[in-house]
Amino acid sequence: MADISTLPSEVAPMLDIKSTIGYYLSQKKKAQQTFGMNKYESLDYGGDFAVLSNEGGTASGPPIKTDHYALILCLRGSSTKTVGQFTFAVQPQTVHLVSPGVMNSFENSSPDLLLYMLLFKREFLDESFISGSVVDNLLELNPDYPPVYSLDANSFNSIKGGLERISEEFDRGAPFHLNIIRLQTLQLLYEMNRACEVCLLGFSKHMNRQYQLTHDFRMLVEENFLTKRTVSEYADLLNISAKHLSESVKRETGESALEIIHRRLLREAQYLLSYSSLSIKEIALHLRFDTASHFSRFFKLKTGLNPSQYGKAIAL
């Protein structure tokens, strides 16, 4: 088998805004577009931001990494979102932020799910007349908490109204509209950070040693899943016994620690099968499986499909 050092360090591309929109858009039946850009007609827009709804989107999608931020407001319905090591419910009157380069996916979307979304690159805000350090602080998330925040009625209406004003400004295309949209985006980020502060104050009251241990374990899995596959290895990093780690994680999440390790590995495999040009053998090598057959057995056990079948299903 080829040496792993022969594989490129970035084995799959990050999606740009156009690719992100296009990939999750169902082409089977065009849906009415009631908010933002028309995804069926505006995908040739080459800008570094987009404002749109999820109308016409698919109910689930494989893991992706993007080169842009996504600020997402839920108006109705529900979905399950995984961002990095966090899995959380997307529910009405919540907002969440996905950062560039962070693996994310969604599933179990209800038929009535309605999201307003603002996609933007960091560079888009460089001409906003606000210092870069201030912008960076607005975009910096606390890594100890899931990036989803519940909103009171005032905050929800403020963010919803802000997204609607951005959409209207883009549609008008009047002079200075991009500068106005940049300032409106910053206002949304301030509103989100205000909600974030309130949420985290409440969240911290419910933290305990078990939560913190589980969080630390998830962070370690995110950093080491390619090289460490056993609960014992993570227990050693945390200076506790494997039994204590397993029991704590099970009580906190309802899942076994090994399931969490395997799910992170599976998400990476799905990402590579969906977006990289690597062969199954090369993906198995990248993921440190002994053989391609071992990788295929693992993948089929978790998904019911072998890697080739999964790749074909994604391409449909």
CATH of span 4-204: 2.60.120.280
Region 56-82 average pLDDT: 93
Residue 36 has what DSSP assignment?
A: B
Task: Write phi, then psi, for 42 (nearest 5 degrees).
Answer: -110, 15
Query: What does the pLDDT look like over 70-97, one tens digit per residue?
Result: 999 999 999 999 999 999 999 999 999 9
CA–CA separation, 39 and 36 (whole Å): 9
Q: What is residue 60's predicted lDDT score, i.e. its pLDDT?
A: 86
Query: Is residue 56 very low, low, confident or very high in pLDDT (cuts 50, 70, 90)?
Result: confident
Q: How far is CA 9 from CA 1, 4, 278, in A?
A: 18, 10, 12
**Does the pLDDT value for residue 7 go beyond 60?**
no
Which of 61-65, 124-128, 159-163 tops mean pLDDT? 159-163
Helix (H) or strand (E) holding 21: helix 17-24
Locate the domains of the chain by residue range. 4-204, 209-315
CA angle 136, 140, 141 (to 5 degrees): 170
Q: Which residue has the tokens 């951005």?
A: 166
- The pTM assigned to this predicted structure is 0.87
What architecture (CATH level 2) is domain 209-315? Orthogonal Bundle (1.10)
**Model pLDDT for residues 170-205, shown as the tens digit of each residue:** 988 899 999 999 999 999 999 998 888 766 555 554
pLDDT score for 8: 46
101: left (phi over 0), alpha (psi -120 to 50) or beta: left
Cβ atoms of 90 and 157 closer than 8 Å: no
Backbone dihedral angles phi then psi of residue 3, each to the nearest 5 degrees: -70, 140
- C-alpha 221/C-alpha 212 separation (Å) is 14
Report the number of secondary-structure helices (H) and strands (E) in the chain. Answer: 11, 9
Residue 1 has pLDDT above 80, yes or no: no
3-state secondary structure 145-177: CCCEEECCHHHHHHHHHHHHHHHHHHHHCCCCH
Q: How far apart are CA 140 and CA 99, in angstroms?
A: 9
Phi/psi of residue 50, nearest 5 degrees? -155, 145
Q: What is the pLDDT of residues 114-131, one digit of tens each?
A: 999 999 999 999 877 788
